[in-house]
Amino acid sequence: MNNQFEIEGQRVHRRAGKSVTAIVGGLSTLGLAAVLSGCGLTAGSGHTTLRLVAADYGDSASNSSEKYWGALVTAYEKKHPDVTVDVTVSSWNDVDAKVKAMVDAGHPPDMAQIGSYADYAAADQLYKADDLLSVTVQADFVQQLAAAGKVRGMQYGMPFASSTRLLFYNKTLFAEAGITPPTTWAELAEDAGKLKAEGVKYPYALPLGPEEAQAETLQWLLSGGGGYAQAAGGYSIDSTENVETFDWLKDKLVGKGLTGPVAPGSLNRADAFAAFADGQVGMLNGHPSLMKMAQKTGVKFGMVPMPGVDGPSKVAMGVADWMTAFKRNGHAEQIGQFLDFVYSERNVLGFSREYDLLPVTTSASQIMSTAEQDAALRPFLEELPLAEVYPVGRTSWAQVSAAVKKGIGKAVTRSGDPATVLSDLQSAAMTAESAAGE
């Protein structure tokens, strides 16, 4: 990784023993206050310590995010000897909850790289991007990602990583069935039928299980001309377009046995990806990490835009993760300087290439769109200008997302009624929206 980042030499993570987040999880409130009473304060005259909690994007010890942040922080501290940046990395299963525990205890980190931000922004706990970043860096964010980071017109969430989805298909299974990649829903259903006739276990894998049902759902809603929310604000989960989309899924795919032996409401994304890498899936929606999984097992695959009703979908699903900065400890100037470094073209490129993710800045995107080494990511990058992300700027989204994960699978069961399920989710969304004062 050294050649990808502005670094000189190696750095061992400075904290021996337990990290800040490990301490948070193991102490009483009284003990926590004693340990963290100096959190965010200067470590000495003229010296500032910034604490960052970050998510781990690696899939092994060799490419853990600890290595990424270690290299980047080493480079930054060499140029800024008056600043120490202390980073704690946690898995995606834990990082949001750990940050929330720190905030609830009154000791937030200076920065948190996590999956959401709206609750903290609504509670006036975050700096605005305007308070931190240089004009050049802030203007470099990909436009739709920067817009998704806003609450009531002000940007609090700074996009840190992004991704889009494409329809993956197994080239070997397609060749054996004598079919070509679909461009419409009708073609997708026809292809799935021929794959089933060839004995393919999962002609189309439809993961509507609780792990990430909100993603598969949005992909289908967008391809049907709908989505979770209206452009002007407010949820539209039970729109005519959305009901028609799930009617089609229930009648044309699930009802005809074209989605495999596991009920969609019980199939999680990780299991669907594993089945694809095992050669058991004809088609499914996937993000860049699926490429490596399939390559490791020797599965020959292709990727095309998500089919729509009359042709390729005009809108793609995008996902973004967020960098946030808490006001509690101050240090806006030091945080801003560090984040300007984090979002430099070179560092954004290094991170994106290390973890097969899309850059969140226009300058890095332009380089990756033409660089030969980024050719594999180019199909995903081409979808980014068409991408629509979750309505993460709404403080009610966390509750709505949880409701979708829990209930959307019922819409495609034999006894389920899409209109009823979507109406129930819309009611839950409106209740959450009202409670949040949106």
DSSP class of 102: H
- Structure confidence at residue 152 (pLDDT): 87
Residue 35 pLDDT class (50, 70, 90 cuts)? very low
Residue 45 pLDDT class (50, 70, 90 cuts)? low
- Tell me which of 51-55, 56-60, 344-348, 354-358 is least confident: 56-60
- Tell me which of 25-34, 90-99, 169-178, 184-193 is least confident: 25-34
- Structure confidence at residue 40 (pLDDT): 47
> How large is the average pLDDT for residues 261-272?
96
Q: Which two tokens stand for residue 120?
A: 């903290």
How far apart are the C-alpha atoms of 319 and 159, rounded to whole Å? 10
Residue at token pair 């860096």: 137
- Tell me which of 176-185, 341-350, 380-389 is least confident: 380-389
Q: Is-contact 248 424, C-beta < 8 A?
A: no
Q: Which two tokens stand for residue 20?
A: 């800040």
Q: What is the DSSP string of 275-295?
A: HHHTT-EEEEEE-THHHHHHH
Please determine, for residue 413, whether its predicted confidence score (pLDDT) is greater than 70: yes
pLDDT digits (tens, 9 = 90+) for 97-118: 999 999 999 999 999 999 989 9
**What global pTM score does this model have?**
0.82
> How large is the average pLDDT for residues 127-145?
96
- Tell me which of 56-65, 118-127, 237-246, 266-275 is least confident: 56-65
Please determine, for residue 66, whether its predicted confidence score (pLDDT) is greater than 50: yes
Question: Strands of 281-286's sheet, edge to edge?
Answer: 202-204, 281-286, 166-170, 301-304
Distances in Å between the alpha carbon of 119 and those of 48, 229, 373?
27, 18, 38
Q: Which two tokens stand for residue 234?
A: 């407010």
How far apart are the C-alpha atoms of 127 and 326, rounded to whole Å? 6
Q: Please name the residues in contact with 30: beta carbons below 8 A apart, sequence gap of 6 or more.
A: none
- Structure confidence at residue 290 (pLDDT): 95
Q: Are strands 47-55 and 111-114 parallel, antiparallel or unpaired?
A: parallel
How far apart are the C-alpha atoms of 321 and 160, rounded to whole Å? 6
Kindly report the length of the chain. 438
Q: Which two tokens stand for residue 275?
A: 């089945």
- Structure confidence at residue 251 (pLDDT): 98
Q: Which two tokens stand for residue 158?
A: 């700074």
> How large is the average pLDDT for residues 42-66?
83
- Structure confidence at residue 435 (pLDDT): 87
Q: Nearest to residue 165, comparing CAs of 267, 306, 281?
A: 306
In the chain, % of residues over pLDDT 70 = 89
> How large is the average pLDDT for residues 240-262?
98
438 vs 424 pLDDT, higher one: 424
- Structure confidence at residue 18 (pLDDT): 33
> How large is the average pLDDT for residues 36-41?
42
Q: Is-contact 248 172, C-beta < 8 A?
A: no
> How large is the average pLDDT for residues 363-372?
96
Residue 39 pLDDT class (50, 70, 90 cuts)? very low
Please determine, for residue 371, whether its predicted confidence score (pLDDT) is greater than 50: yes
Q: Please name the residues in contact with 385: beta carbons below 8 A apart, sequence gap of 6 or more.
A: 144
Residue at token pair 């050294």: 2
How far apart are the C-alpha atoms of 400 and 317, rounded to whole Å? 17
In the chain, % of residues over pLDDT 90 = 80
Q: Nearest to residue 140, comparing CAs of 340, 400, 397, 425?
A: 340
Q: Count CB-CB contacts under 10 A for residue 303.
A: 17
